[in-house]
Amino acid sequence: MILQNKIPSIYHSIFPELLGFKFPEEKIATCDTCTLCRSPQTPYINTKCCTYQPTLVNFLLGGVFTDDDVSLTLGKERILNQIKARAGVTPYGIIPSLSYIEREKEANSIDFWLRPHKLVESIRCPYSYEGLCTIWKYRENLCVTFFCSSIGGVAGKTFWKKVNAYLKMAETSLAQYAMLQLGWPPDKIKTDAVTAVDFNFEEEDGIINDAKYAELWGDWIGREEEFYRSCFNIVKNIDAVTFKQITGQTREILEAAIRDTQKKFILSNLPVFLLLHPSVIADKSNEDHILLILGEITAKVPSALLPLIYSFNGKRQTVEVFQLGYNILFNMSDLVDELREKGILIKP
Amino acid sequence: MNNDLNTIWHVSQKVLSSKIDEEVILMSIEADSYFGLDPIASHIWYLLSQKPSTINELVQFLMEEYEVEEDTCRMDVQTLIDDMSARKLIFQVD
């Protein structure tokens, strides 16, 4: 698998250097095998992990509007509704509104299993429909790079974190560039990625202050869609050289970080099969945990989970063992990383 | 101990399970903890998850599968049911 398969096509001519980066295919935690939805009781049964509102920057919104692809029809409608409601609608893009952030905080403050379904569903991504994304071609950084578990363990997650940082940097820089090109006064452009607290047009009770909204949008008020389309038309014509000029050393540093973490990711890629080292002894003297002993090396494993460890028998696929763990909501990633590092789990 | 052998038991809806060969691992959502079941306990769990049953019914099923004295089997099932009930992994049918 290469990054070209993951990164939205709008970026392919803007930073072609990134496209050829190889990485092991993520097979453990994907949208199709959602680890949050193994039980009908999970509060996330109807949302998966799409309880996150992406920040869709101006040119990505413009991309949705400009693109004739029928798969974006519903996405367009939803964005138009957001523009009508104005909450979170800014020249930088559409960001999570203050009221959305409040609901998100409330949900996260409650224990996982006790979160009311209604509350969780109230923070469903506004672009999600029946488990599918309505703006997939123009999705934002986190929606490209988020895996709750990686086939490369910690190294895999670090790789995706760096790719995420790169995409976020690109989104922010390109959105600002488009605003500048459209005549936005440079001193009025915020330098970092924006959030709802950077603006003052949404009151605490979720009511929009129209005067402040108008002040933010200036001459573009009422023409938000046109503005986003214009941003897209500017960004789609940016070539790699211009992008490098816009993003400078930050891009260079992030690209180097991706290159570095990519090597570690490939080396850490979970083998198709793993085997519990034949010389490992399991000390079961403690009721709560088993002590796996290999010479002078030891590792603690919760007693109940020992069958999962024994499943690494060189015959059952690693991915399958992870899925068995997910059936009881146990993410094996950290434990497997530790056992591999200690030589307790080996390639057969 | 619940001495009523005709009480009907069913598995809790707040328990997740994963079957690994002949063993089952349970995760109690309420207790936020894991429980490992040996092969026979796993078999009982499987039977209860398929159909709410009494201890007498479970004993009958198990005696068809395993060579075991009825009294021993009944005592073991009773102990396991008590244990799982105490941990809220199973409940009596009202």
B40-83 pLDDT per residue, tens: 999 999 999 999 999 999 999 999 988 889 999 999 999 999 99
Is residue B54 domain-resident? yes
Q: Counting one residue from A and one from B, how many pairs have CB atoms under 8 Å apart?
A: 52
Is residue B86 domain-resident? yes
pLDDT at B11: 95
- Report the percent of chain A where pLDDT is more than 70: 100
pLDDT at A233: 98
The H or E element spanning position A107 is helix A98-108
pLDDT at A296: 95
pLDDT at B86: 93
Q: Which of A110, A328, A330, A332 to mutate to test the interface with B (most CBs of B within 10 A)?
A: A328
Phi and psi angles of residue A56, each rounded to the nearest 5 degrees, phi first: -95, 110
Rounded to whole angstroms, the Cα distance separating A238 from A236 reads: 6
Q: Confirm if A327 and B23 have CB atoms less than 8 A apart.
A: no
pLDDT at A203: 86
The whole domain housing B85 covers 9-92
**What residue in A sits closest to B33 (Cα-Cα)?**
A304
CATH topology of domain A273-346: Outer Surface Protein A; domain 3 (3.90.930)
Model confidence band, residue A122 (pLDDT cutoffs 50, 70, 90)? very high
Domain of B17, CATH number, reads 3.90.930
Mean pLDDT taken over chain A: 93
Q: Confirm if B28 and B46 have CB atoms less than 8 A apart.
A: no
Q: Confirm if A104 and A125 have CB atoms less than 8 A apart.
A: no
> When comparing pLDDT for A329 and A301, which is higher?
A301
Structure tokens at A118: 């209604």
Mean predicted confidence (pLDDT) in A309-332: 92
* Residue of B21, B23, B34 lying closest to A328 (CB–CB): B34
pLDDT at A226: 98
What's the number of domains chain B is made of?
1
Q: Looking at the complex, does the CB of residue A113 fall below 8 Å from at least one CB of chain B? A: yes
pLDDT at A104: 94
Cβ contacts (< 8 Å) between B21 and chain A: which residues? 307, 311
Lowest mean pLDDT among A24-33, A119-128, B58-67: A24-33
* Residue of B17, B19, B25 lying closest to A305 (CB–CB): B25
pLDDT at A3: 96
Is residue B65 domain-resident? yes
Rounded to whole angstroms, the Cα distance separating A217 from A188 reads: 11
Mean predicted confidence (pLDDT) in A229-255: 97
Q: Do B25 and A311 touch (CB under 8 A)?
A: no
* Backbone region of residue A76 per phi and psi (left: phi > 0; alpha: psi in -120 to 50; beta: other values): alpha
Q: Do B34 and A305 touch (CB under 8 A)?
A: yes
Lowest mean pLDDT among A40-44, A143-147, A213-217, A278-282: A40-44
Angle, helices A224-235 vs A73-85, to 10°: value is 130
Q: Looking at the complex, does the CB of residue B35 fall below 8 Å from at least one CB of chain A? A: yes
Q: Looking at the complex, does the CB of residue B28 fall below 8 Å from at least one CB of chain A? A: no
B27-39: b (≥16 Cβ within 10 Å) or e: bbbeeeebbbbee
Model confidence band, residue B5 (pLDDT cutoffs 50, 70, 90)? confident
- Domains of chain A by residue range: 3-268, 273-346
Q: Looking at the complex, does the CB of residue A328 fall below 8 Å from at least one CB of chain B? A: yes
Q: Do B16 and A38 touch (CB under 8 A)?
A: yes
pLDDT at B3: 54
Is residue B78 domain-resident? yes
Q: Do A305 and B26 touch (CB under 8 A)?
A: no
